[in-house]
Amino acid sequence: MKTSRFYKTPPRTDRPARELVADADTSDEERYTFYSSIEIGRYSEGRETEVGVLLVRDSTVSSRHCIITQTLDGRCFVRDVSRNGTRLDGRRLIPNLEVGVKEGQVISVGSEHEFRLTGEPDATALSLVSARSATMALSSVAMVTVLVGDIRDYTVLVRKAASRRLQQSVSRVFARLAREVAKQGGTVKEYQGDAIFAFWEEGSTENHAVDACRAAIALDELVGKLAADSSVWAVEDFPLSMDWALATGPVAIEGFGGDHPGGLSMIGEPVVLAFRIEKFANDETGSIITCPATMEKASRAFKFRDLGKMHAKGFDKADRVYALVRAKRLLGL
């Protein structure tokens, strides 16, 4: 029988000894000790075993599947970086977000591999380490321009299209959009089902509203190309179309999860406003809607069309909204 797992134990560090236990409580039980971190990946012929990297013989496991890290105070976190996903006690993890792992919890990878975390450190002995190493939180209020993009008529699409094909198509589209956001100097905060949420921050660019508007136009054009590419958008009889909204203003930004953040928290009116005014976009208004603040900051570089006052859900009164037309240099202005 071929060996199914390969591992080299790393040297001891200042972290407590932890173990991932495979086939726990059986005659085939195997333990893999780590201190600072352990990575799980796929074994392939010719790949050398690295220190601290647990390789498993399974084609459904990615070359780099997930990473488990341990802090000085003994807390462990897992981050999924795979194609097929990592599960914690049966729950699928969000890719690239670190999630806390406790003693006894089971990490599942591939089609059949389960690893139980053991080796709970002494809480009293490590409490002093935690106090010394804790990072003081810094409240960060920043001026940003938020961009929200939403697949048009997605509710209808969900009812008509095959779920698997739709999910794969949306994933491919959002992967391409995320690369374009990065190319345009923005940050993707998250995906919300049929929506992508990104932002441009003051200080990282000369004019965040201008950059966000430029990105919105580029993304809208990219969606048109992706819609015509059946290798990306494979939902027959339902063309891909997206609507966009931009809102500018102050927000509070902070990583959530304490010293080991698992995501980015952003709170402020521009976030809510962008999601609300995106619903005003249609064939008559055009696909890109902005609030007055975005229009004012980007009016020297772009042409806008006044759509009049509209009452966004959840806001006390109606306010003007604008359609982003295109860059003025393209209009010869």
Residues 149 and 287 in one domain: yes
Are residue 144 and residue 124 in the same domain, yes or no?
no
Same domain, 313 and 174: yes
Q: Which residues contact 321 (CB under 8 A, 6 or more apart)?
A: 277, 280, 289, 290, 291, 292, 307, 308, 309, 310
Q: What is the pLDDT of residue 1?
A: 41
114 - beta bridge partners?
A: 108
Nearest to 14 by CA among 113, 129, 174: 129
Same domain, 39 and 154: no
Residue 62 dihedral angles phi and psi, to the nearest 5°: -75, 160
Q: Could you report the per-residue pLDDT of 270-294, keeping only the tens digit for each?
A: 999 999 999 999 999 999 999 999 9
Last residue of a domain, one of 93, 113, 132: 132
Mean pLDDT of the chain: 88
Query: Is there a single domain that holds both residue 68 and residue 147?
Result: no
End-to-end CA distance of the chain, in Å? 74
Nearest in space to 209 (alpha carbons), one of 307, 288, 312 = 288
CA 203 to chain centre: 22
CATH of the domain at 64: 2.60.200.20
Tens-digit pLDDT profile for residues 49-102: 899 999 999 999 999 999 999 988 888 999 999 988 899 998 888 888 888 999
Q: Are residues 21 and 166 in the same domain?
A: no
Residue 137: per-residue pLDDT: 52
Q: Which two three-digit tokens encode residue 75?
A: 């807390």
Is 0.85 topped by the overall pTM? no
Q: What is the CATH number of the domain that holds 182?
A: 3.30.70.1230
Last-in-domain residue among 73, 102, 132: 132
Sign of the dihedral defined by the CA atoms of residues 139, 145, 149, 155, in that order: positive
Quote the pLDDT of residue 332.
Answer: 47
Q: Are residues 164 and 313 in the same domain?
A: yes
Number of domains in the chain: 2
Predicted pLDDT of residue 266: 87
Domain residues for the domain of 12 are 5-132
Q: Are residues 10 and 150 in the same domain?
A: no
Same domain, 74 and 208: no
CB-count burial class (<10 Å; 0-12, 13-18, 19+) for 105: middle
Domain ends where: 66, 99, 132?
A: 132
CA–CA separation, 79 and 67 (whole Å): 5
Same domain, 145 and 127: no
45 in the same domain as 194: no
63 and 102 in one domain?
A: yes
Q: Is 178 exposed, middle or buried (0-12, 13-18, 19+ CB in 10 A)?
A: middle
